[in-house]
């Protein structure tokens, strides 16, 4: 009997372990980015830190407390713009960071760019630092975090399951070459069992298209974290439609991002079910905004900073929750 009881206990514990989720917290950085991933093993990785000052750092700390973590295993900086890396100096005063990850050095050397980069380097000085490149992986337990872009370079070969020809290649004209930090963004494909999410930071138009043309090197995803806050310098239909995402989550501000062009490219994408937004885009109107139910912040003021939470299961199903209202929607495995 004792043997049977131990077997049943082991099975129950295994079942509980299998039910642990990958949790993603999309914090409102008012048109910046700060996205916290907490793995089923309890590890944490924060993608970007929002703007300078206390506001975004405090919101990150609040999300960390909600997630039950007291430190950050990794902070991944997609690129060196103020709305992505500006929050680092304040963040490290509030939370310990084990390791910073970035693409190397900034290419923007005006006075403001140099000061921003120096403040970041000074803040990370007492921690471990990894310079990442395409094809590398972030060493996390239980999930596969694959780097697909960094420092202007891209993965050169299709990932497993990818490599399909993209019929839209050539339909969206290329833009002028982008020499800013945006085009050097660290982009990631995160896989947890059958669940897949793409986050390319502020990677711009041409680089996104190169990832999926003439063949799609990254494959499809369940969730698309909308590039560049939904600005029309990114997010061509050629790229977005190749992902065939079921859900898009846009970290826009009321007056930054959420452009009609980017919104319509997502809305017309094959397989899309819902678009969730951190803010209602003032300039978008009803035709280019999602419903209030799927919007974390519907009023431009007061600045309340509501976020969105996603919890994914290994089978590919996931739930998205509006932290303003508590409304949740479950998306079944496909």
CA neighbor of 307 nearest in space, from 323, 289, 285, 284 = 323
pLDDT at 8 over 70: no
Q: Which of 181, 124, 125 is nearest to 152 (CA)?
A: 181
151-168 core/surface letters (b: 16 or more CB in 10 A; e: else): bbebbeeebeebeeebeb
DSSP assignment of 166-177 equals: -TTTTSS-----
Per residue in 155-210, pLDDT tens? 999 999 999 999 999 999 999 999 999 999 999 999 999 999 999 999 999 999 99
Q: What is the pLDDT of residues 211-234, one digit of tens each?
A: 999 999 999 999 999 999 999 999
pTM given for the model: 0.94
pLDDT in tens, 13-40: 444 445 799 999 999 999 999 999 999 9
CB-based contact 64:72 (threshold 8 Å): yes
Please provide the size of the chain in residues.
Answer: 334
Phi and psi angles of residue 165, each rounded to the nearest 5 degrees, phi first: -70, 140
Domains of the chain: 21-326 (3.60.15.10)
Residue 10 is predicted with a pLDDT of 47
Band of residue 96 on the pLDDT scale cut at 50, 70, 90: very high
Pairing relation of β-strands 274-279 and 295-297?
parallel
What is the DSSP track for 20-61? --EEEEE---SSS--EEEE-TTS-EEEE---SSSHHHHHHHH
């Amino acid at each position: 009997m004792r043997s049977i009881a131990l077997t049943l206990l082991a099975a129950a514990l295994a079942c509980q372990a299998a039910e642990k989720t990958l949790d993603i917290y999309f914090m409102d950085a008012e048109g910046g980015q700060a996205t916290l991933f907490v793995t089923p093993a309890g590890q944490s990785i924060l993608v970007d830190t929002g703007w300078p000052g206390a506001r975004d750092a405090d919101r990150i700390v609040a999300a960390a407390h909600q997630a039950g973590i007291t430190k950050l295993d990794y902070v991944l900086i997609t690129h060196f713009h103020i709305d992505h890396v500006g929050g680092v100096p304040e963040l490290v005063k509030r939370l310990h960071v084990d390791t910073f990850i970035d693409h190397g050095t900034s290419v923007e050397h005006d006075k403001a760019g140099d000061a921003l980069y120096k403040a970041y380097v000074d803040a990370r000085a007492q921690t471990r630092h990894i310079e990442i490149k395409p094809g590398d992986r972030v060493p996390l337990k239980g999930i596969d975090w694959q780097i697909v872009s960094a420092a202007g370079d891209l993965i050169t070969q299709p990932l497993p399951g990818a490599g399909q020809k993209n019929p839209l290649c050539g339909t969206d004209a290329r833009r002028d070459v982008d020499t800013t930090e945006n085009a050097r963004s660290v982009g990631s494909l995160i896989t947890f069992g059958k669940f897949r999410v793409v986050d390319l930071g502020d990677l711009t138009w041409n680089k996104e298209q190169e990832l999926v043309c003439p063949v799609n090197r990254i494959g499809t995803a369940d969730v698309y974290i909308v590039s560049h806050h939904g600005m029309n310098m990114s997010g061509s239909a050629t790229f977005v439609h190749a992902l065939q995402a079921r859900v898009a989550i846009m970290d826009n501000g009321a007056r930054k991002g959420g452009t009609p062009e980017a919104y319509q490219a997502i809305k017309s994408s094959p397989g899309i079910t819902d678009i969730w937004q951190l803010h209602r885009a003032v300039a978008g109107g009803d035709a280019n905004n999602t419903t209030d139910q799927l919007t974390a912040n519907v009023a431009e003021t007061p600045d309340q900073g509501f976020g969105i939470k996603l919890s994914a299961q290994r089978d590919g199903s996931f739930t998205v929750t509006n932290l303003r209202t508590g409304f949740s929607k479950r998306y079944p495995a496909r």
